[in-house]
Amino acid sequence: MLESDIKGKFALVTGAAKGIGRSSALRLAEQGVNVAVNYNRSLKEAKDVVAEIKDLGSDGFAVQADVGKPDQVKTMIDAVNDRFGQIDILVNNAGIIDDTLIMRMSDEQWRRVIETNLDGTFYCSRGVVRSMIKQRWGRIINIGSIVGSHGNPGQTNYSASKAGIEGFTKALAKELANRSVTVNVVTPGYIITETVEVLGPQFREKMLSMIPMGYLGDPDDIGHIVAYLASEKARYITGQVIAVDGGMAV
């Protein structure tokens, strides 16, 4: 097995207590990366992820913050820098959904989703770029969604937030490229997470009919791509939208 080229680096993964964030944190830890596990409410699950990170031989700790609140993001990043000394890799994964048709959507439903998903990506990225520029190395990996490119009824707020992340990624990639800091976005299709697991069998069948490969993805399908994009092997990839969706975007 080849030795990891990012062993000893330090990462912050937002929304890392469950699902895609958890997998991203663990796949990075497998590569010898030390990981700060951000959570908002799921403290127990975050502590479980930290325990798994340490079992893999890397260092880790849980850090609470609502990424949609700039003051909490600053406190979180300060805590990670105090513990690790630096942040080399940022995975902007934290996100929420609050679905309904636009005619029924409240201002609060719109605001909360945009605030967490899009504003949170901005706040966290802004908080780490200065040190990445200074050390002339960094990785920012944003988690988007297929609906950011294709839309979905009942998800105007979520689709807008994820489309915004794609534009944000491309612009930031151009800002940071000459400092060896890459910025990419991974757009999952339907992945087996808590959100999908609660859906009824009829809706699941409808989802499967839209996936050329015929099955739902696993969080590790995203986690492995995240770990690759964080590595030196992906040093010449930036500003890209990478779909991991079983062929849905084709």
Q: Which residues are catalytic?
A: 158
Inter-residue contact 31 to 227 (CB < 8 Å): yes
Long-range contacts of 39-43 (CB under 8 A, 24+ apart): 39/15, 39/63, 39/64, 40/15, 40/64, 40/65, 40/66, 40/67, 40/94, 42/17, 42/18, 43/17
> How many residues are there in the chain?
250
Give the C-alpha separation, 70 to 195, whole Å. 26
- 55 within 8 A of 76, measured Cβ to Cβ: no
CB 164 within 8 A of CB 184: no
